[in-house]
């Protein structure tokens, strides 16, 4: 079995296998911010490996190479997809970790499968890691993996990064099996979070529920039996985007021309307002549509002058809350268009599908305003992509205070999306903002995003992990 010095473990591989009607397999980029970020990090790594699921139930494809990286597919049966992915990951953890915007559901059988599947990912990673290698585990679907890997391979350095929020103690304490989850995470040497608040929530949970003391960000985890105690560090590493790649696309003359063409195709309105999200109830799409519908109804927006373009990537389509969201969003878009669209052109242009990076960048370049109205979001890369796509220093970002990105992108128009009146005011403010004011805000936003890219994020995480030394070495002096 080949071995690797850096092994990424995530629920999804960077590509999903789609089976065509003729039985052939087509590989497409997987959805979500984790893949957007880690794909570009791994492109710069020699002989890296990525362990993950190929996105369909059944037997996993054989390991294969893509973009100089070795991909190791892990298989999930249809029942495991239901209990581990749709169940415990996205029916229990996802809503609980996102402020219970939807009701978390818990079944003991889901937990059993979550444990079994986590063990499978851990074994797959342990088998391909070279002696003393670094294994980097990602996200809430795999919280038990760090300790499971440590048990199989005590020689490895183990990092864990949580891409979504970590909830406050009062919410986390509701999770059945909460202590097992914390013990799973504490198998890592370094546990990374998007925001300082997430790290503090985690430290509080560890102290309150397991009784482990911490000094600042370092937790002392007592050894079992004669084992020595270990120090686990938990702190924030705000994720970012491949700024250079996005900037290069944004400067590409064909992309700039495509942005002009998009505006023509939309009927050359004075203002183009854009939303780009996975179709997820955490993204605040319903709140955004409500605000837009009311602004049209109030006569504050003329549908001949302004259009809302909403791109919604299909997501978790067999989970009830997502089905219900899709029905509601599509009903609302239909109603608003029925009530307000001029002949031959919509008031809201809605697309329920994915587009390639060039098209997304052209859309960002065509957008006078981007609305990020998440009710809770770990980071939100769309906000950063928009900023990196505007070398012309024009455009306005309306950003929810409840997205991790709001900690950094202070020059955006920050909103509480639960307050529809505030959201309406923010949209009108963005639409009316003069060019010089747009430029000042965009310059400040761009400094933040250009100075902090995803490569820097990965270096900082892996650098800190390395500085902690190998499990069998004394830790490096601070």
CB atoms within 10 A of CB 204: 16
Q: Pick out residues in 327-386 that bind ligand ADP (CB under 6 A).
A: 354-355, 360, 379-382, 385
Q: Whole-angstrom Cα distance, residue 133 to residue 126?
A: 10
| 163 forms part of the interface with ligand F6P (CB under 6 A) | yes
Cite the DSSP H helix spans in 341-391.
357-366, 381-388
Tell me how far apart the alpha carbons of residues 371 and 290 are, in angstroms, rounded to a whole number.
13
Contact criterion met (CB below 8 Å) for 42 and 67: yes
Phi, psi (degrees; rounded to nearest 5) at 255: -70, -40
374 belongs to the binding site for ligand F6P (CB under 6 A): no
Active site residue 392: no
Whichever of 40 and 438 has its CB closer to ligand ADP, that residue is 40
- The end-to-end CA distance of the chain, in Å, is 37
- Nearest Cα neighbor of 203 from 236, 240, 230 is 236
139 binds, among ligand ADP, ligand F6P, none (CB under 5 to 8 A by kind): ligand F6P
Q: Does 258 bind ligand F6P (CB under 6 A)?
A: no
d(CA 145, CA 391): 41
Structural contact between residues 154 and 131, judged by C-beta atoms closer than 8 angstroms: no
Q: What is the DSSP string of 393-454?
A: ---EEEEETTBGGGGT-TTSEEE-TT-HHHHHHHHHHHHH--HHHHHHHHHHHHHHHHHS-H
Sole binder of ligand F6P in the list 98, 258, 316, 424 (CB under 6 A): 316
Residue 360 binds which entry of ligand ADP, ligand F6P, none, with Cβ cut-offs from 5 to 8 Å by kind?
Answer: ligand ADP
With contacts defined by CB under 6 A, how many residues of the chain interact with ligand F6P? 11
Question: Is residue 18 among the annotated active site residues?
Answer: no
Identified catalytic residue from 139, 242, 277, 377 = 377
The site string for ligand F6P over 34-73 (x = CB under 6 A, - otherwise) reads x---------------------------------------
Which one of 26-34, 351-359, 392-400, 409-417 is the stretch in contact with ligand F6P (CB under 6 A)? 26-34
Tell me if 469 sits within 8 A of 476, measured CB to CB: yes
How far is CA 303 from its chain centroid? 32
Choices 31-39, 150-158, 187-195, 242-250; region in contact with ligand ADP by CB under 6 A:
31-39
Look at residues 197, 198, 181, 199 and name the one whose alpha carbon lies nearest to residue 141: 181
Site string for ligand ADP, 258-277 (x = CB under 6 A): ------------------xx
Q: Does 31 bind ligand F6P (CB under 6 A)?
A: yes
Q: Six-digit token pair at 228?
A: 């020595």
Per CB under 6 A, 380 contacts ligand F6P? no
The stretch among 13-21, 30-38, 182-190, 202-210 that binds ligand ADP (CB under 6 A) is 30-38
CA angle 140, 146, 148 (to 5 degrees): 115
**Adjacent-strand bridge partners of 231:** 220
Asked whether position 14 contacts ligand ADP by CB under 6 A, the answer is no
Helix, strand, coil proportions of the chain in percent (round to 5)? 45, 20, 35
Cβ at position 354, least distance to ligand ADP in Å: 4
* Interaction of residue 303 with ligand ADP, rule CB under 6 A: no
Asked if residue 192 binds ligand F6P (CB under 6 A), the reply is no
| Assigned token pair, 442 | 């965009």
Output the six-digit token pair for 158. Answer: 């183990």
232 binds, among ligand F6P, ligand ADP, none (CB under 5 to 8 A by kind): none
Q: Convert residues 124-153 into a mask of x (bound to ligand F6P by CB under 6 A) and - (unbound).
A: ---------------x--------------
Asked if residue 333 lies in contact with residue 286, where contact means CB atoms within 8 angstroms, the answer is no
Of the pair 8, 441, the CB lying nearest ligand F6P is at: 8
What residues from 75 to 94 belong to the interface with ligand ADP (CB under 6 A)?
Answer: none
User: What are residue 55's phi and psi, to 5 degrees?
Assistant: 95, -5
Indicate whether 32 belongs to the interface with ligand F6P (CB under 6 A).
Answer: yes
The residue ranges that bind ligand F6P (CB under 6 A) are 11-12, 31-34, 139, 163-164, 315-316
Which active-site residues does the annotation give?
163, 377
């Amino acid at each position: 079995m080949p071995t690797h010095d850096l092994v990424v473990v995530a629920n999804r591989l960077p590509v999903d296998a789609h089976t065509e009607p003729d039985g052939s397999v087509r590989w497409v980029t997987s959805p979500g911010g984790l893949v957007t970020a880690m794909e570009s990090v791994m492109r710069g790594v020699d002989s890296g490996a990525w362990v993950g699921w190929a996105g369909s139930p059944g037997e996993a494809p054989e390991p294969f190479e893509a973009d100089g990286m070795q991909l190791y597919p892990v298989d999930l049966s249809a029942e495991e997809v239901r209990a581990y992915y749709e169940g415990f990951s996205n029916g229990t953890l996802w809503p609980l970790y996102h402020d219970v915007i939807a009701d978390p559901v818990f079944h003991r059988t889901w937990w059993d499968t979550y444990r079994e599947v986590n063990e499978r990912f851990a074994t797959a990673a342990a088998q391909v890691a070279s002696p003393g290698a670094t294994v980097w585990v990602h996200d809430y679907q795999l919280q038990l993996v760090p300790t499971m890997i440590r048990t199989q391979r005590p020689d490895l350095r183990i990092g864990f990064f949580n891409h979504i929020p970590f909830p406050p103690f009062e919410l986390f304490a509701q999770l059945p099996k909460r202590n097992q989850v914390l013990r799973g995470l504490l198998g890592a040497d370094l546990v990374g979070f998007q925001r300082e608040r997430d790290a503090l929530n985690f430290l509080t949970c560890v102290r309150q529920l397991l009784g482990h003391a911490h000094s600042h960000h370092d937790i002392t985890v007592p050894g079992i039996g004669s084992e020595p105690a270990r120090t686990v560090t938990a702190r924030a590493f705000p994720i970012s985007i491949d700024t250079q790649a996005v900037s290069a696309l944004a400067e590409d003359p064909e992309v700039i021309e495509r942005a002009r063409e998009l505006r023509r195709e939309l009927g050359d309105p004075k203002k183009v307002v854009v939303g780009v999200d996975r179709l997820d109830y955490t993204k605040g799409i319903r709140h955004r549509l409500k605000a837009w519908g009311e602004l049209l109804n109030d006569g504050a927006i003329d549908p001949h002058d302004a259009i809302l373009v909403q791109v919604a990537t299909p997501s978790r389509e067999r989970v009830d809350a997502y089905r219900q969201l899709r029905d509601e969003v599509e009903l609302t878009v239909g109603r608003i268009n029925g009530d307000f669209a001029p002949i031959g052109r919509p008031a809201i242009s809605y697309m329920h599908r994915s587009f390639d990076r060039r098209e997304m960048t052209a859309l960002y370049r065509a957008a006078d305003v981007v609305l990020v109205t998440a009710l809770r979001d770990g980071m939100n890369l769309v906000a950063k992509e928009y900023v990196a796509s505007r070398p012309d220093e024009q455009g306005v970002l309306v950003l929810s205070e409840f997205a991790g990105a709001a900690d950094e992108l202070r020059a955006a128009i920050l909103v509480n999306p639960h307050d529809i009146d505030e959201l309406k005011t923010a949209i009108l403010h963005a639409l009316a903002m003069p060019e010089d004011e747009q430029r000042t805000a965009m310059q400040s936003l761009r400094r933040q995003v250009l100075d902090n890219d995803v490569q820097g994020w990965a270096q900082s995480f892996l650098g800190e992990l390395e500085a902690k030394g190998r499990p069998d070495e004394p830790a490096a002096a601070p």
